[in-house]
Amino acid sequence: MRGPGGWTRGRGSGRVIAALACVTAGLLAFPSVLPNSPGRLGSLLESFLPWLGPVVALLAVLALIRRSVVALVALLLPVAVWSRSYGVLLLPSGSPNGRELVVVQHNVSDENPDPVGTARALAAAGPDLIALQELVDPARREYEAVLAPEYPYHVVHGTVGLWSRHPLADAQPLDIKPRDIAEGWNRALRAVVRMPSGDVVAYVAHLPSVRVGAGGLASARRDESAGLLGRMLAAEEANRVVLLGDLNGTVDDRGLAPLTSRLGTPERGFAFSFPAGLPVARIDQVLARGAVVRSIRTLPATGSDHLPVTARIALR
């Protein structure tokens, strides 16, 4: 049936578009309905949830082409759900409150051809803390040399490190190694940052990589490592905690639930950080407890396959 101006009210392709709009809204609102077995398809969907926004836009274009009232009305549902979940990330983050911690998180890549330039670029952002992953010799010594003047306090354990403008104390490695990985794998640390406004406990971590293939998402090691780290955070007695790291997953991914259920995620910003050439997901994360991550954004590309991210954290 056609109304005034040739608009249809509910036949053919318009109903198909409306049905797709409802399915998209359902996946946005309840991604957990998609099971993680086989192939961890649920985690795979959750890794790219924000990109359902362009899907909604495409459906809107098709609805306009088909001049379907039913489809356009149905599209209001996924638009509302996407706006509630992700539109808020586009809003201004507000003014600093005076008790703020600025951090930079970066997987510098063990194949980075310019560690000196990378270190200078990170320092130029002026953060209080810089967390790095994939630190290997001899590049590690170059990072240490370049950052030392402005960041006199630092600790490195295995391939992860933390540089600070403020004194560090009680630094120690953390064992988040999956059971089937050989010895010599050290990719997490904990340190106390002696801030003027009081101590902040900083965790730096690099969770195992995931792979996407014909069988879906291979993330078992990542999920196991996240569980180990989550138990450490649950036992952490400090009031103010920040986690900086390449977590190889987005904050929507259920595989990181042991972390995101205990720490707050950024209030503003998408900051897609990987891959650097065409970033489609933020797998470099800044999470906090007893503090609020007000905003997160990317910095210009370095010699890494990740983009650096910087975040503003309001301390309570």
pLDDT by residue (tens digit) across 82-135? 999 999 999 987 766 668 999 999 999 999 999 999 999 999 999 999 999 999
Sign of CA pseudo-dihedral 93, 167, 140, 147 = positive
Q: 241-246 and 198-206 as β-strands: parallel, antiparallel, unpaired?
A: parallel
Q: Hey, what amino acid is at 249?
A: G
Residue 216: predicted pLDDT: 79
Closest CA to 315 of 170, 161, 200: 200
- The answer to whether the beta carbons of residues 228 and 252 sit under 8 Å apart is no
Three-state DSSP state, 294: strand
Closest CA to 25 of 95, 62, 74, 97: 74
CB-based contacts of 3: which residues, under 8 Å, 6+ apart? 9, 69
Q: How confident is the model at residue 257 (pLDDT cuts 50, 70, 90)?
A: very high
Point out the least confidently predicted range of 44-53, 94-103, 105-114, 204-213. 94-103
Answer yes or no: is pLDDT of 225 > 80. yes
Answer yes or no: is pLDDT of 167 > 90. yes
Annotate 108-127 with DSSP letters as a single string. Answer: --TT-S-HHHHHHHHHHT--
Q: Hey, what amino acid is at 314?
A: A
Render the burial of 187-225: b for 16+ CB within 10 Å, e for the rest: bbbbbbbebeeeebbbbbbbbbebeeeeebbebebbbbb
pTM listed for this prediction: 0.93
Closest CA to 256 of 176, 159, 158: 176
DSSP state of 150: T
Averaged confidence pLDDT in the chain? 94
